Structure 1
């Protein structure tokens, strides 16, 4: 049980920190703004996505939040990472750009599955 809890917190901290940094970049970094324009996204969507990523990361980090809200956050992050991958491919970016998305998705899945293992053991 201790190993599952450590795996959950490690993967969740890594993923959440990654999303918080990504959200900050979407709001403050000119390269991130250019990337969103490259994808054809309107500027308001970049801001909306940054806020959603920050709020989602916070929800994942609050242990007392359980149930449907946490499930929706995991689903939202899954859709976001997959949609970002599609945006890269559709914009003509090289497939190597997808490596970070696959890593993020892998870490997110570890967090999700270890969350459920840990929750099932404590039920």
Structure 2
């Protein structure tokens, strides 16, 4: 149980930092706006993503939220990473841009699996 908890918090903390803190601090920069434009999305879409990522990241680290809320949050991040992969693939083809969404998806899946284990362990108590 201790190992599961440690893995959960490391992976979830990484999602919080990479998908919550970093977008909140850099989402308004010209580089971020150009990245959204490069993919063919309007600027307001980038702003929406930042808001959703910050909210989702906070929801993942709040303990004792209803299970369904956390599961929908994980699903939202999954949709985000899959969409980022597809967007980069369609616009730029195969390249290094595809690595980040894949790595983040792997980290998200690990976090989700640990969340499930922790939830089941709580139910068994």
- TM bucket normalised to smaller: over 0.9
Alignment of 1:36-75 (within 5 A): 36-75=36-75
Q: Deviations over 1:65-114 (max 9, x none)?
A: 13111111000000000101111111125422111111111110010000
Counterpart for residue 104 of structure 2? 104
Residue 3 of structure 1 deviates from its aligned partner by 0.6
Q: Give 5+ residue unaligned stretches, structure 1.
A: none
TM-score calculated relative to the size of structure 1? 0.94
- Where do 4+ consecutive residues of structure 1 move more than 3 Å? none
Residue 23 of structure 1 deviates from its aligned partner by 4.0
TM-score calculated relative to the size of structure 2? 0.92
Residues paired across the two proteins, number:
122
Counterpart for residue 16 of structure 1? 16
Higher RCO, 1 vs 2 (CA within 8 Å, ≥6 residues apart): 1
RMSD of aligned alpha carbons: 1.1
